[in-house]
Amino acid sequence: MSISEKYEQMKWIIARSELVNNRKRGSFSYQMPKSSSTFDMHQRVSGLHLGLRSIVLPETADWLSQIKIDMYNVNQSQDVIDATSLPEIGIHWNEYECEPMSATVHTALQFMHEHRGRRTVVFKNEFWYHQRLAQKKIASSEELRKEDLLILSVPFYANFKNLDGINNVLSKCTDLGIPVLLDIIWLPLTKEQIKLSNTECVQVVTQSLSKTLPIAGMKGGFAFWKKPIVKEHLIYPLGNKLMFHLAQRYIEDFGYHYVRDYCVPFQKKWCTILGLEQHDLCYVGNIPKGHWLEAENLHAHEFDIEDKLFSLIPYIENDEILSRFIEDN
């Protein structure tokens, strides 16, 4: 039996596993099989390669289910995070005030409201909700104007790598006085060494953990606002202290790159089995040109780009049972 034939059967094993084990699926109804009927199971496995959710690791799932939180003390606590636990990517964290964040999109909307006289722009192939918020999509820094407002993901969503020429982009934004929001949701999951310069223009950095921890139904994380911040941020923060506390505890207990470091050995294994090239982001592999998995390109439903990526999340989560299946065949 060829690996491509085994692959079709593995998808059914994954779908069945997700149906009977709620730790093998995401937070939302579209991320899980609706029933065990042939139609619903087929619909699920056919969409298995679309989109990326947070991986459900046994250790983090146990931690989330067993963690005890003193709600009164959380409410009374100060929203402080140790800057030394954050990655050194060229952002001077001591120049920012860390606030609770409900969701990246809410922070982006607040950022846009505070600069409502400006035109919101994103680069082409940015994450879909950033595209929805933007008034214009651009292809290069040459299209930036002094009246603009830029929302930018780091790593960039289209290929989960740092955007080509990003430091030139930030330099131009600094020169023109263009405020920038950086979304670093994917940063805890990449091995790429990202070093940014000319970051004086960055006014807010959003760090959601909903792609690192399986908490997409609650979202939450940190919003780093450039000092001095307006008093409304302190009096009426968009986020809540509970999710801030949970995200803070996760970094303290596991470390910023825990999920990445856990997944990398399994990423290597499944890239080898499926004939994929390794990627810096631990959740995916690169699909070589002409590969039999080309039709299951992760972003095929969004846009056509040169990079073809394949989600390895279900294979890492179900490594034990899938490995036994391969050995038996």
Nearest of 49, 24, 25 to residue 295 by alpha carbon: 49
**pLDDT at residue 328, as a whole number:** 87
pLDDT 10s digits, 169-200: 999 999 999 999 999 999 999 999 999 999 99
Could you tell me the two tokens for 171?
């330099």
The pLDDT value recorded for residue 146 is 95
CA-closest candidate to residue 10, choices 48, 38, 40, 43: 48
Compute the radius of gyration of the chain from its Cα atoms: 21
**Which pLDDT value is given to residue 160?**
96
pLDDT tens-digit series, residues 116-157: 999 999 999 999 889 999 999 999 999 999 999 999 999 999
How far is CA 26 from each of CA 54, 57, 90, 223, rounded to the nearest angstrom?
A: 7, 12, 33, 24
Structure tokens at 318: 């179900």
pLDDT in tens, 36-79: 787 777 777 777 766 788 999 999 999 999 999 999 998 888 87
| DSSP for 61-128, written as a single string | HHHHHH----HHHHHHS-----GGGS--SS--GGGEEEEEES-HHHHHHHHHHHTTTSEEEEETT--H
State the Cα–Cα distance between residues 10 and 320, nearest whole angstrom.
12
Compute the distance between CA of residue 192 and CA of residue 108 in angstroms, rounded to an integer.
25
Q: State mean pLDDT over 254-273.
A: 97
Exposed, middle or buried: residue 217 (CB in 10 Å: 0-12, 13-18, 19+)?
A: exposed
Q: Rounded to an integer, what distance in angstroms lies between the CA atom of residue 277 and that of residue 271?
A: 6
Q: Say how far apart CA 228 and CA 34 lie, in whole Å.
A: 49
Q: So what's the pLDDT on residue 301?
A: 76
Is the full-model pTM beyond 0.75? yes
Confidence of residue 313 (pLDDT cuts 50, 70, 90): very high
What confidence tier does 21 reach under pLDDT thresholds 50, 70, 90? confident
Sheet holding 284-286, edge to edge: 277-278, 284-286, 309-311
Domains of the chain as residue ranges with CATH: 3-62+257-328 (no CATH), 79-254 (3.40.640.10)
Between CA 177 and CA 219 the distance in angstroms is 31
